[in-house]
Structure 1
Amino acid sequence: MTGEEATAPEPKPGDLGDRAAELAANLAAVEERLAAACAAAGRPREEVTLIVVTKTYPASDVRLLAELGVRHVAENKVQEAAPKAEACADLPLTWHFVGQLQTNKARAVAEFCDYVHSVDRLRLVRALSTAAERRDRELRCLLQVALDKEPAEPAEPAGPAGPDAVGAPAGAATARGGLAPADVPDLAGAVTAAPGLSLAGVMTVAPLTGRYAANPRAAFERLREISSGLRRADAAANMVSAGMSSDLEEAVAAGATHVRVGTAVLGVRPRLG
């Protein structure tokens, strides 16, 4: 096994009925989880938006999801997202980009995307701004925060740090991208000042290393603190994108406004053998 994800093939017409039933059942199960999580947190269900991550699945699934009431969908690879968004352009959907984004793909993202959740560096801000201006549209940007780049508390003596050292930006953090919490205010200011962009909020993925490893609730609570700081400067930057299929309950409890769910709705993704 290579571990690489493959794109699911387009289903035959006769398969669509079964697939629609499968997606409906999965959506109902996720909705039940979200409703229970909101009730446990004392929050109205409408405070949390479900974003269905449709990566590796065909446009036909997006259409079925739209028929089932889904209005927010996400992708993480430009080469897959762009043609899928074009094929579904007639649907009342809001498109989110949640993957790591190269600056040379900013123009393609600006063609179809409404929200970019993975803004983490100044060069990307500039590229997205240029692309949005060329399209005469506004892109809503979320800053991706890498919480495993936050130092441990209390501060530890300086010295050699191995790849698994607490607070060290380990390989997993680098692969996922994101900026350190301390760098959020400066990049937020750059987004706010950039033509064609607006600051929507913050996003994170529960870290595998560092002080928040194996504690997604604490990680998401820290993200909420960072969000509160942003909102003091810009009240419109109120999105907190956190939580996926495995930890959406922790995200809701910690104040997430948007959860990004893929596997729990669409099923286990196909992989290349």
Structure 2
Amino acid sequence: MNAPAHHEQDRDRSAQLAANLAQVEERITTACEGAGRDRGEVTLIVVTKTYPADDVRLLAGLGVRQVAENRDQEAAPKADACADLGLVWHFVGQLQTNKARSVVRYADHVHSVDRLRLVTVLSSAATAGERQVGCLVQVALDAESGARGERGGVAPDAVGALADAIAAAPGLRLDGVMTVAPLAGAYAGQPRAAFHRLMEISSRVRETHPTANMVSAGMSQDLDEAVAAGATHVRIGTAVLGVRPRLR
């Protein structure tokens, strides 16, 4: 491909991303106004999974500073390729313990901590790498006591113990809680109720860990409900990046 055509494609893509970002921004602002919240209380994290490092670069050029990935094998090389951009990287996918050391190299926040074994492994990786990694307890609102959720996460009654373990672990910082609106159980199809439940859980965690005030909830289809409920961070992929265009 010759250079001018490539620049033109970049310009087109950048314009498309800018328009999508503006629409998402409008949704967040409207939801904040409706909930009587300040727009500054909500952080937009753009989920760049399946999209190339070039898109991350274009997003950075449009002012995006917080990006997320859900698979280490894709995230690690992308974070490397974009190391010069000074971005904050969030890991939001289910995390296997054997990937912890790699994830700790680039992730500033891990949203999907859902078992003690993972806390131990992340802690030793962070300590070895002389890193401080923020962790969120992933709450599974579709899980019964003692079980894990369909999409990862711990049952609500296990959140306290896991939060305590993160807070006590060297190299880790307890940042807050995260959930994905469940597809099954009492909250299926009821994102607003699910996010309100997450806020109750967050309040309980903050009684003993007052600085753990991140509430990560809401994706492209339900960010409005998440902001209304009190989410501090929304994780948006499709609404910003769209459906991958066919290669021309």
Q: In which range does the TM-score fall when normalised by the shorter chain?
A: over 0.9
Matches within 5 A, 1:12-161: 12-150=6-144
Aligned to 1:244: 219
Deviation at 1:137, TM superposition (A): 1.0
Contact 1:146 1:179 in 2 (8 A): yes
CA distance in structure 2 between the aligned counterparts of 1:268 and 1:147, rounded to whole angstroms: 29
Aligned to 1:224: 199
CA distance in structure 1 between the aligned counterparts of 2:70 and 2:189, rounded to whole angstroms: 24
Q: Deviation per CA, 1:51-71, whole angstroms, max 9, x where unpaired?
A: 000000000100110110101
Q: Which runs of 5+ in 2 are unaligned?
A: none
Deviation at 1:268, TM superposition (A): 2.0
Kindly report the root-mean-square deviation, in angstroms, between the aligned alpha carbons of the 2 structures. Answer: 1.7
Q: Which runs of 5+ in 1 are unaligned?
A: 1-10, 152-167
- Structure 2-normalised TM-score? 0.94
Overall identity of the aligned pairs, in %: 69
CA distance in structure 1 between the aligned counterparts of 2:9 and 2:100, rounded to whole angstroms: 36
Aligned pairs, number: 242
CA distance in structure 2 between the aligned counterparts of 1:227 and 1:84, rounded to whole angstroms: 32
In structure 2, give the amino acid aligned to 1:249. Answer: D
Aligned to 2:153: 178
The structure with higher relative contact order (CA 8 Å, sep 6+) is: 1
In structure 1, give the amino acid aligned to 2:49. Answer: K
- Structure 1-normalised TM-score? 0.86
> What SS class does the counterpart of residue 147 from structure 1 fall into?
coil
CA distance in structure 2 between the aligned counterparts of 1:150 and 1:37, rounded to whole angstroms: 31
> What SS class does the counterpart of residue 149 from structure 1 fall into?
coil
> What SS class does the counterpart of residue 99 from structure 2 fall into?
helix
* Pair 1:267 & 2:245 matched: no
In structure 1, give the amino acid aligned to 2:181. Answer: A
Deviation at 1:269, TM superposition (A): 4.6
In structure 1, give the amino acid aligned to 2:20. Answer: N
CA distance in structure 2 between the aligned counterparts of 1:21 and 1:169, rounded to whole angstroms: 45
Aligned to 2:169: 194
Contact 2:43 2:233 in 1 (8 A): yes
Deviation at 1:12, TM superposition (A): 3.8
Q: Deviation per CA, 1:86-134, whole angstroms, max 9, x where unpaired?
A: 1111112100000000000000001101000000001100010010001
CA distance in structure 1 between the aligned counterparts of 2:190 and 2:220, rounded to whole angstroms: 15
